[in-house]
């Protein structure tokens, strides 16, 4: 009997350790995922455009298809690649982060440039422009998954850099949990966003109460403005996060003069206001300066990327 009790005590101890490990994984995944907020917001802001032009009943299946592709990107390709780099070539992580940050800066700056400079959008398709809607759906989903791969690579690299050293399996579990959690959050939010106008229309047409019909009308009228706001937030987040990643990478590579100046300027700005606001103003000042740097870097990258795109398109 004492042997059985001892065994049960050991099992209980193992269960406690396992539960603590799971808590550690979940906590680390949440903290690391928060570091990737800019890329996550951009992912959520970019995806809805891929279902524009399709019938309402095809929107959720397309989002589900993109979400499955995103999970495959993160778990089958990016997670093993990230773990290999972390364990065999950790020195590569900072330059890769800088490349990803520069890409975010380019994406954000390109959106602002296209807003200010008239251009022809040659990438907008509609169902009636192609004879086969199923083919168009596959093409749209494939394009979204490719875009997601780039953003997911940046997200997974940011998460990896934010995970404290805890062993191979702890890093793998944290990356997996954070990657899946972010995917569910992003594409769950996208699904809600793209269907919200349909929900509003249903409430307006079928609501028995005046409040319900009024709320439905507000949803239908407000969603275009919300999408615009989401695009603005996503663009600002790209420039802020991208700029801060590049600046931090420069510090890691012993080129920290810009980061030190930004820190000092933000600190000085924070101490120009009452004590209760100093932390907030310091953070906002640093984020704004990181964003301005990101915008400047992105604008500098636009001509070079455009030339490379033209060369690549000619070869294909």
Instruction: Return the pLDDT at 306.
Output: 77
pTM, to two decimals: 0.69
Instruction: Return the pLDDT at 247.
Output: 93
Residue 239 lies in a domain: no
Residue 282 lies in a domain: no
Residue 109 lies in a domain: yes
Residue 93 lies in a domain: yes
Residue 310 lies in a domain: no
Instruction: Return the ∠ at Cα 78 (arms to 74 and 81), rounded to 5°.
Output: 155
Residue of 144, 116, 139 whose CA lies nearest to 129: 139
- Give a three-class secondary structure readout of 122-138: CCCCCHHHCCCHHHHHH
Residue 194 lies in a domain: yes
Give how far Cα 70 sits from Cα of 49, 97, 164, 297, Å. 16, 19, 25, 28
Residue 237 lies in a domain: no
Tokens for 298?
């992105």
Q: Give the integer Cα–Cα distance in Å for 303 and 293.
A: 17
Angle, in degrees to the nearest 10, between helices 210-252 and 168-206: 150
Tens-binned pLDDT, residue by residue, of the chain (316 aa)? 444 334 334 333 433 333 344 444 455 445 544 555 555 665 666 666 666 666 767 778 888 888 888 888 888 888 888 888 878 888 888 888 888 888 889 988 988 988 888 665 444 444 444 456 677 778 878 877 877 787 788 778 777 777 766 677 777 887 888 888 888 888 888 888 888 878 888 888 887 888 888 888 898 888 878 878 877 887 888 888 889 889 988 998 888 899 999 999 999 999 898 888 888 999 999 999 999 999 999 999 988 877 876 776 665 5
Residue 85 lies in a domain: yes
Phi-psi region of 6 (alpha: psi -120 to 50; beta: other; left: phi over 0): alpha
Instruction: Return the pLDDT at 14.
Output: 34
State which residues form the domain around 20: 2-224
- Residue 125 · residue 62 · CB < 8 Å: no
Instruction: Return the pLDDT at 81.
Output: 87
If one counts the domains in the chain, the total is 1
Q: Give the integer Cα–Cα distance in Å for 132 and 125.
A: 12
């Amino acid at each position: 009997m004492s042997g059985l009790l001892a065994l049960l005590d050991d099992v209980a101890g193992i269960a406690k350790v396992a539960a603590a490990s799971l808590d550690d994984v979940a906590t680390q995944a949440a903290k690391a995922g928060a570091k990737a907020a800019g890329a996550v917001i951009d992912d959520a802001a970019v995806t809805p455009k891929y279902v524009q032009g399709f019938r309402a009943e095809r929107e959720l299946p397309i989002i589900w298809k993109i979400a499955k592709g995103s999970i495959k990107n993160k778990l089958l390709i990016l997670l093993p690649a990230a773990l290999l780099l972390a364990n065999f070539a950790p020195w590569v992580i900072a330059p890769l982060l800088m490349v990803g940050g520069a890409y975010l800066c380019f994406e954000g700056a390109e959106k602002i440039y296209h807003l200010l400079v008239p251009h022809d959008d040659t990438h907008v398709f509609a169902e009636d422009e192609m004879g086969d809607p199923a083919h168009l759906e596959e093409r749209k989903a494939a394009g979204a998954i490719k875009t997601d791969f780039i953003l997911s690579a940046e997200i997974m690299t940011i998460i990896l850099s934010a995970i404290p050293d805890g062993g191979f399996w702890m890093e793998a579990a944290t990356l997996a949990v954070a990657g899946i959690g972010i995917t569910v959050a992003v594409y769950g939010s996208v699904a809600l966003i793209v269907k919200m106008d349909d929900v509003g229309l249903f409430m307006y047409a079928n609501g028995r109460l005046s409040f319900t019909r009024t709320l439905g009308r507000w949803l239908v009228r407000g969603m275009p403005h919300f999408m615009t706001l989401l695009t603005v937030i996503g663009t600002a987040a790209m420039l802020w996060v991208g700029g801060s990643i590049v600046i931090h990478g420069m510090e890691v590579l012993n080129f920290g003069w810009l980061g030190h100046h930004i820190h000092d300027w933000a600190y000085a700005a924070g101490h120009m206001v009452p004590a209760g606001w100093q932390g907030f103003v310091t953070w906002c000042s640093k984020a704004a300066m990181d964003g301005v740097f990101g915008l400047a870097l992105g604008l500098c990258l636009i001509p070079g990327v455009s030339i490379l795109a033209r060369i690549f398109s000619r070869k294909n």
